[in-house]
Amino acid sequence: MNLHDLPAEGEAAFDARFDAASGNRLERLVFNHRWWLLLACALLTAFCSWQLRGLVVGASFDKMLPQGQPYIQNYLANRGQLRGLGDSVRVVVEARQGDIFDRAFLDTLAKINDEIFTLPGVDRAWMKSIFTPVVRWVEVTEDGFSGGPVLPNDFNGSPRSIDDLRINIARAGVVGSLVANDYQSSMIVVPLLAADAQGKPVDYRRLSESLESIRARYAGAPDAKVRVYVIGFAKLAGDLIAGLEKVMAFFGIAAAVATLVIFAFTRCVRSTALVLLCSLVAVVWQLGIVATLGLGLDPFSMLVPFLVFAIGVSHGAQKMNGIMQDVGRGAHKWVAARLTFRRLFLAGLTALLADAVGFAVLMVIDIPVIRELALTASLGVAVLIFTNLLLLPVLLSYVGVSPAAARRSLAQERDESRGRGLAALWHGLDRYTERRWATAAIVVALLLGAGGFAISQRLQVGDLDAGAPELRPDSRYNRDNAFITAHYGISSDVFAVMVKTPPDQCRSFETLTETDRLSWRLAQLPGVQRTASLADTVRAYTAGGFEGNPKWMTISDTQGLIDAQVSNALSWNSEFIDPPCSLIPVMAYLADHRAETLDRVVQAASAFAAEHDTPDRKFLLAAGSAGVEAATNIVVREANRTMLLYVYAAVVVLCAITFRSWRAVVVAVLPLVLTSILAEALMVLLGIGVKVATLPVVALGVGIGVDYALYLLSVQLAQQRAGCTLAEAYRRAVAFTGKVVGLVGVTLAAGVVTWAWSPIKFQADMGILLTFMFVWNMLGALVLIPALSHFLLQGQGPRAATQPAAGCTTVVPASAT
């Protein structure tokens, strides 16, 4: 039963001619047992809705680590021997007036220190502040070394004890690290455990809320005497999770915009509501399955439901449009639903599989948070196959569409066939099947591609801005980070090289000398604020043993002198040595974590390791927050092209199965390639680097963008194979699916463009890039497909004349049957 076989004499006559036993097995199974399908979907929706109560929104530091990367493997293997070089939070308390040597300020700092000390997940043994016993001072006297905690044992807030504290701070050398350079604030370094006593990861949301509660109580009042600043991955993750409520508002905005777009196209309330309902059901199924599998949402994957909803609405619009056209020609709503299912199921299935592939290829990225995002998104697209390809046509077979809307749709189609309405636009697109227009379009595309490729060569991997790029520059977190960076000599961006030796061999003169050389080499790099290692401790202690004589500010080649200083460091639990004396971290404090800064440090450290590694002494990269980011950048850089290769390979295979023509595959894929190139150029122009948050975007744009070609080309090729010329085939394809292709592009773009105003910057970046890719893929399909078809697909029909062949009729696309 072909599209234009529908008679004008009404439903009764048509129903008499329709064979209820026609169609393939799946069609008969679905439409002959509609109540069973509805019951199964209702039960599954109820089950998934119940499971949503267990859905957890959280974050994990370990899930951000690329587990298979050698640097991360080195870090994880030695994690237990490293102190404070993993996940940590830094809290700075500033005196609004005066300096820190004030009794009221110190009382407040002590209270904040004690409250943080008791928070769940804090590694209390290595928490550092001027009030913790692990922070010590050392001096040389005529009787030898003497020292103790920075906070005097008899501290009581009196002027004398405050003076003692002032002296101890100077002795300890913590100015610039735990005390600001201007003495107006003090820092509390809070290392976090990988898991709590029950083996559960730290709850970042709860920790962030606890820190905000402390901030509000001590610094929230207008007359408060202090200001509190908080930075660290846990605080960043907590802020992102707390922003989920604002993100959910964008979900509502996206749904409202999609509703307006669909309703403006159909003017039918019931069918628009059903399209939105089925898309929301898909989101419920997706999240319910995620919760059932014991997974959750994190700041990166919480955007996936938005994409699933937008994809569902766009595919639902195709089904609704087909049913509306058939009802307008006199078909019963049940028959119209079956015919639309028959025409569009395979094309829709292939398109959704391409979408799923766009998500699934993210599994090649060895970062757990990305792999969970890929799994969550793939599940969402998989359920769309049921909700939008099966459930929606069945629901429409009961509810139907508004008769007035169906008549309006048919009238618009007739007007366009007579050159009125949007006919001018469709006629303009038809011109791209002509040689002159096709050549011009391809030349413009080549110029755009060449220019975009030249710009894309400047694309960088990693963060391009200081602070947390996931948030806006004016966010509270980034303002806190800017304050700490400006007032302290060390930042939270720590890059650590681990010097690994056999037990008790870290004290050797050769090892300490090589460690000192590495420290010096890193200190010379632009972007490195300072470096620190056990060699600095030994040098200072050695000079102290000789009355502070600067001549002895060195590493002695006398092992007996070295052993004494290393023993002192061990007895005072130095963070630069582990108890077995087999690991020395060389720490470089960086001014920022920009991609170029990390690349410089990695190159210098790697070159040094290659030159100085021995069987008994290895320089292992890398620990610290900056070390983790450097390793992540390496994984992202390697995965970027591999991921694109896989997604294009999968799209090519799916298009080949659908079109059964290599020429058609080329026509479908080349516009996607242009979009990918231009998207990377746009990232350069907007100052967006390739990182964990933006890496999935290009793959998603390719997987989702091929939908346009699948719907448009499947009809065009069917028309050509029925005897139509290219121009006539494309004209009929545009008339049949062109409006909906445009609608899909607008709907997808409208669903994500609102993200550009999100307070979460990486969501805004994703929104801008996805909007660009959705719109550009739509334009590429409508313009470049006819242009490329002129050169590659002219011979697909029985003959290639300037007028339609005598046998040219409107048919159901074979590839979509």
The whole-chain average pLDDT of the chain stands at 79
Poorest-pLDDT segment among 128-142, 245-259, 637-651: 245-259
What integer pLDDT is reported at residue 450 of this predicted model?
93
Residue 434 has pLDDT above 60, yes or no: yes
Would you state the pLDDT for residue 143?
59
Q: Is the pLDDT of residue 197 over 90?
A: no
In this prediction, residues 415-442 reach a mean pLDDT of 72
**Which position has the higher pLDDT, 708 or 113?**
113
- Is 439 exposed, middle or buried, given 0-12, 13-18 or 19+ CB atoms closer than 10 A? middle
Q: pLDDT tens for residues 565-603?
A: 777 776 666 677 777 888 888 888 888 888 888 889 999
Radius of gyration of the chain (CA): 33
Enumerate the H helices of 531-573 as residue ranges. 534-544, 559-571
Least confident of 448-462, 479-493, 791-805: 791-805
Give residue 660's region: left, alpha or beta (phi > 0; psi -120 to 50).
Answer: left
Q: If you average pLDDT over residues 600-611, what whole number do you get?
A: 91
pLDDT surpasses 90 at 198: no
Query: Any idea what DSSP says for residue 418?
Result: T
> Above 90 in pLDDT, residue 88?
no
**Predicted pLDDT of residue 454:** 93
Residue 2 scores a pLDDT above 60: no
Helices 244-266 and 739-753, interaxial angle, to 10°?
160
Query: How high is the pLDDT of residue 447?
Result: 94
Does residue 167 have a pLDDT over 60?
Answer: yes
Locate 319 and state its tokens: 């089904």
Asked whether the predicted pLDDT for residue 664 surpasses 50, the reply is: yes
Question: Is the model's pLDDT at 107 over the cut of 70?
Answer: yes
For residue 546, the model assigns a pLDDT of 64
pLDDT at residue 737 tops 80: no
* 737/173: higher pLDDT: 173
Residue 415 has pLDDT above 80, yes or no: no
pLDDT at 9: 37
Assess whether pLDDT exceeds 50 at residue 8: no
pLDDT tops 60 at residue 800: no
Report pLDDT for 811. Answer: 46
pLDDT at res. 551: 67
Q: Does the pLDDT of residue 418 top 60, yes or no?
A: no
pLDDT of amino acid 544: 65
Q: 336-341 long-range CB contacts below 8 Å, 24 or more apart?
A: 336/396, 336/397, 336/400, 337/31, 337/393, 337/394, 337/396, 337/397, 338/23, 338/27, 338/31, 338/393, 338/397, 339/1, 339/3, 340/393, 341/23, 341/27, 341/30, 341/31, 341/389, 341/393
Residue-level pLDDT at 443: 93
Summarize the confidence of residues 306-322 as an average pLDDT.
77
pLDDT of residue 442: 92
Tell whether the model's pLDDT for residue 812 goes beyond 50: no
pLDDT, greater one: 54 or 165: 165
347-406 pLDDT per residue, tens:
778 778 877 777 787 887 888 888 888 888 888 888 888 888 888 888 888 887 777 777
- Averaged pLDDT for residues 689-712: 76
Residue 195 token pair: 């898991």
Contact 486, 592 (CB under 8 A): no
Round to whole Å and give the CA distance between 409 and 577. 77
Note the Cα 643 to chain centre separation in Å: 14
% of the chain beyond a pLDDT of 90: 8
Residue 499 DSSP symbol: E
Judged against a pLDDT cut of 90, whether residue 46 lies above it is answered with yes
Indicate the range of 64-78, 208-222, 249-263, 758-772 predicted with least confidence: 249-263
Predicted pLDDT of residue 814? 38
Say if CB 119 and CB 210 are below 8 A apart. Answer: yes
